A and B are shown apart, each in its own frame.
Chain A
Amino acid sequence: MSKPILTVKQLTKRYGSNTIFENIDLTVNEGDTIVIIGPSGTGKSTLLRCLNLLTKPDGGQIWLDELEITAKGTDEDHVRQHIGMVFQNFLLFNHLTALENVKLGLVRVKHMPEKEAETKALEELTRVGLADRAGHYPGQLSGGQQQRVGIARALAMDPRVMLFDEPTSALDPELIGEVLEVMRKLALDGMTMVVVTHEMGFAREVADRIVFMEKGSIVEEGSPDDLFYHPKYDRTREFLWKITELYGKKEAQT
């Protein structure tokens, strides 16, 4: 049942003499939702970008299923289509409609025929509740809608795992709910997900495991209950409750 989809061993990233993170070990099993939390500047986003090779790690190894993607000669483009990514600032293709955003990868990467790609793209937009916005350009969509298109764009590639890099941090409070709802549904549908977020409500409800990172290493990881109520380290408790208080208010409105 719990087959590892992503396996990370001793992963290290440095910029010059500045170590972003060091010796990270992480296993993401099929169907798991892993939530990574931690203070900003801790290397969470960089870690996510290393997972799909958008950033090159300086040491350690990553496996996607049984394939070591950090090995020499790996076809990065091929790897990336199997690892979906959702960005903090959405990063939709601004010159394309919602539908075309989702379709681009299907046509250009998966070489799907136009018609088939269009049908599939519309399915994915329906999945995030935006079928009626298919012809809108990103500039005509709200932040929440843009982010849902971003999710649909990644989903369309049928990825093995989805990475979310603070998907709601750039959103107005009243738009966070619709994005979290889509993510919650995805998790329930069995999608494997790694989520960097400060949304503690989401983490407690949806996460199978919470990973607390600080200063470039994993301090502690465990089930939401473990981390919230029986953390091994005071630092974990301190951070969790501080962040819950800070963001809990925002979430209560949604």
Chain B
Amino acid sequence: MEWLQLLQRFFGDFVRGAGVTLELTAVGLLLGFVLGLLLALAKIYAPRWLSGIATAYIEIFRGTPLLVQLFLIYYGLPSLGITLSQTLSAYLALGLNSAAYQAEYLRGAIQAIGPSQMMAGRSIGLSRWQTIRHVILPQALRLALPSWSNEPISLLKTTAVVFLIAVQDLMAKAKRAATITYNPIGSYLAVAVVYLLMVFALNALLKWLERKTKIPGFDIDVKRV
């Protein structure tokens, strides 16, 4: 009974929280993808100094806790005269952090496609950039997809840390419900289920994307080369 009452009372709250969590995931993932792709390309194709910067970025963001990065952005930046809202800080921290991980997934795939496809592209007169754009990336992104799929799933759950700077995500709503009702088990279990459902849905979406972008015989070929 207590359960039903809790759900009844906080259902709207949880839905809004889940919405915020999904937004955080989507923005973080997108920002992370764009930046991660640039980092991966820089690491492989850019002149040494630039690829060095990319490597340093990746190492730093993968080597320090997301929470520290989040606090530096939200609490630290104001002392440099840059004050960002809670939501903006959360987007930025998640995106910058995710970029480092996505860069590594993408770098691996781009390198697996290898210099031979670059040579093939250049041989018909495509420029380096055209070959990257039209030959390497379409293959590398497909190749990266199965392992890259870990990142959206992982990011969705990682977003829970942002409640610590008072972003009203699903986790924040759970904490609120637990405080009001003195029922931590009920509250946290309820949002655990919501997280789980979102992960299932995201997983299905990723599997669909994988099927949709599949090229017949492509994976076999990559293994052979």
- By a CB distance below 8 angstroms, the chain A residues around B127 are 77
Identify B221's interface contact among A84, A108, A138, CB under 8 A: A138
A-B contact pairs, 27 of them (CB 8 A): A77-B122, A77-B126, A80-B122, A80-B123, A80-B124, A80-B125, A81-B125, A91-B116, A92-B120, A94-B117, A94-B217, A95-B139, A95-B142, A104-B135, A105-B126, A108-B126, A108-B130, A109-B124, A109-B130, A137-B215, A138-B217, A139-B217, A139-B218, A140-B216, A140-B217, A154-B124, A157-B125
Q: Is the pair A109, B135 in contact by a Cβ cutoff of 8 Å?
A: no
- By a CB distance below 8 angstroms, the chain A residues around B217 are 94, 137-140
Which single residue of chain A is at the shortest CB-CB distance from B141?
A95
Chain B nearest CB from A122 CB (Å) reads 17
CA distance A153 to B139 in the complex (A): 18
Q: Is the pair B124, A105 in contact by a Cβ cutoff of 8 Å?
A: yes
- By a CB distance below 8 angstroms, the chain A residues around B117 are 91, 93-94
Q: Is A235 an interface residue (CB 8 A)?
A: no
- By a CB distance below 8 angstroms, the chain B residues around A93 are 117, 120-121, 135, 139
A94 and B124 in contact, given A89-B116, A108-B130 (Cβ under 8 angstroms): no
Q: Is B53 an interface residue (CB 8 A)?
A: no
Identify A139's interface contact among B119, B130, B221, CB under 8 A: B221
Chain B nearest CB from A76 CB (Å) reads 8
Chain B nearest CB from A130 CB (Å) reads 16
Q: Is the pair B125, A95 in contact by a Cβ cutoff of 8 Å?
A: no
Q: Is B222 an interface residue (CB 8 A)?
A: yes
A-B contact count (CB 8 A): 82
- By a CB distance below 8 angstroms, the chain A residues around B221 are 94, 138-139
Chain A nearest CB from B73 CB (Å) reads 38
Given contacts A52-B123, A77-B127, 20 further A-B contacts (CB under 8 A): A54-B119, A78-B125, A80-B124, A84-B123, A87-B116, A87-B119, A87-B123, A89-B116, A91-B117, A91-B120, A93-B139, A94-B117, A95-B215, A104-B135, A105-B126, A108-B134, A109-B130, A139-B216, A139-B218, A154-B124
CA distance A154 to B130 in the complex (A): 17
Q: Is A85 an interface residue (CB 8 A)?
A: yes
In chain A, positions 29-75 with a C-beta closer than 8 Å to chain B are 52, 54
- By a CB distance below 8 angstroms, the chain B residues around A84 are 123-124
Report how many residues on chain A are interfacial, defined by Cβ distance under 8 Å.
28
- By a CB distance below 8 angstroms, the chain A residues around B130 are 108-109
CA distance A139 to B116 in the complex (A): 16
Secondary structure of the B contact surface, majority rule: helix
Report how many residues on chain B are interfacial, defined by Cβ distance under 8 Å.
25
Which single residue of chain B is at the shortest CB-CB distance from A90?
B120
Convert B111-147 into 0s and 1s, putting 1 for each residue whose CB lies closer than 8 angstroms to a CB of A: 0000011011111111100100011001100100000
Convert A129-159 into 0s and 1s, putting 1 for each residue whose CB lies closer than 8 angstroms to a CB of B: 0000000011110000000000001100100
- By a CB distance below 8 angstroms, the chain B residues around A94 are 117, 139, 215, 217-218, 221-222
Q: Is B220 an interface residue (CB 8 A)?
A: yes
- By a CB distance below 8 angstroms, the chain B residues around A76 are 122
Q: Is B225 an interface residue (CB 8 A)?
A: yes
- By a CB distance below 8 angstroms, the chain A residues around B134 are 104, 108
CA distance A95 to B220 in the complex (A): 12
CA distance A68 to B124 in the complex (A): 19
Of B124, B134, B138, B215, the most chain A CB neighbours within 10 A belong to: B124
A105 and B125 in contact, given A95-B138, A139-B215 (Cβ under 8 angstroms): yes
Chain B nearest CB from A2 CB (Å) reads 27
Q: Which 9 A-B pairs have CB atoms at the shortest separation, nearest pair first?
A: A139-B217, A81-B125, A91-B120, A105-B124, A109-B125, A85-B123, A80-B125, A95-B138, A139-B221
Chain A nearest CB from B222 CB (Å) reads 7
Which single residue of chain A is at the shortest CB-CB distance from B220?
A139
CA distance A153 to B119 in the complex (A): 14
- By a CB distance below 8 angstroms, the chain B residues around A137 are 215-218
Chain A nearest CB from B114 CB (Å) reads 10
CA distance A52 to B124 in the complex (A): 10
Of A80, A82, A89, the most chain B CB neighbours within 10 A belong to: A80
